Amino acid sequence: MISETDFEFLKLAVELGGQGPQTSSSFSVGCVTASNAGIAISTGYTGEYGTGWHAEEVAIKKARDSGASLRNSVLYSSIEPCGRRLSGRTSCVEHIIKEGITRVVYCLDEPPVFLQPNGCEMLRQAGVIVDRDDRLAPAVLRANRGPMRTRQGAV
């Protein structure tokens, strides 16, 4: 069970996911990083820095660019962070582990639209605590009609 603070950050991540472009080639994801004390560090959404940028990647870059450390922090994502990317770029899970983020809270399992998802499994194997709360899943699905319809049929 996640705390109310966790839920508020997850809600913000879901809202941010709605800001990204709706395309058939990527999920619209939002991300927030926060300290264990519940202080927001950075935010990001898919495509915020251009085509190919994942939400987690954007939030991590913003934190790094501001000089903030993400060691022992929490990452909130509207969809399970990717463990592998078709583009060959560094996966979100690899960024999370490298930055020393110790907990991930997300809303929706990554649908097997582009690749077989393995993000949560990789995070757990690296010792990262992973929590899921799907209360906001309908909003995440609405923001991702493009990839779902193109690859799996209408949602």
d(CA 123, CA 119): 6
What long-range pairs does 68-71 form, CB within 8 A, spacing at least 24? 68/41, 68/42, 69/100, 70/33, 70/41, 70/99, 70/100, 70/101, 71/99, 71/100, 71/101
| Phi–psi pair at 123, nearest 5 degrees | -60, -45
Contact between residue 110 and residue 80 where contact means Cβ atoms under 8 Å apart: yes
Residues annotated catalytic, as ranges: 56
